[in-house]
Amino acid sequence: MSKRRVQRLSDLLKEELSQVLFQKMKDPRLSLCSISEVVLSNDCRNAKVYVSVIGTEEHKQECVTALNAAEGFFRHELGQLSLKFIPHLRFYSDHGAEYAQHIEDLLKSIRKDEDKE
């Protein structure tokens, strides 16, 4: 399948999963949780769903566990889309925002060191 088609399907899945998460999920463990990225395999049968969670590491792990347990519900909801295959979903914690903040802090410390000299 073409890369463009896979990317478009990834974007569609991200939108749909986000809507299901915000509108239909009632699990309190999923508070402060959002879908940040969906990466589809080339055959579109498997999807890695990256989730951004605000909170402690324990809360992040609970959120990912709850989402993986609800994979069947998400797949059922995605069944309303007219896709040839509904991908198997696997949820992972996205640490991108934390990493960006770490880099920003490092750059600030370098600037402070340069100003002192």
pLDDT of residue 47: 96
pLDDT of residue 112: 81
In order, the DSSP letters of 53-98 are E-S-HHHHHHHHHHHHHTHHHHHHHHTTS--S-PPEEEEEE--HHH
pLDDT of residue 102: 83
H or E element in which residue 3 lies = helix 3-23
Q: Is the pLDDT score of 98 beyond 70?
A: yes
pLDDT of residue 32: 84
pLDDT of residue 117: 64
Give residue limits of the domains in the chain. Answer: 3-116
Nearest to 51 by CA among 12, 13, 94: 94
Per DSSP, 44 falls in state S
Read off the pLDDT of residues 1-33 as tens digits, 9 standing for 90 and up.
Answer: 788 999 999 999 999 999 999 999 888 888 888
Q: What is the CATH architecture of 3-116?
A: 2-Layer Sandwich (3.30)
Separation in Å, CA 26 to CA 30, 41, 71? 8, 29, 14
- 8 A C-beta contact, residue 93 and residue 78: no
pLDDT of residue 69: 94
**What residue type is 44 in one-letter code?**
C
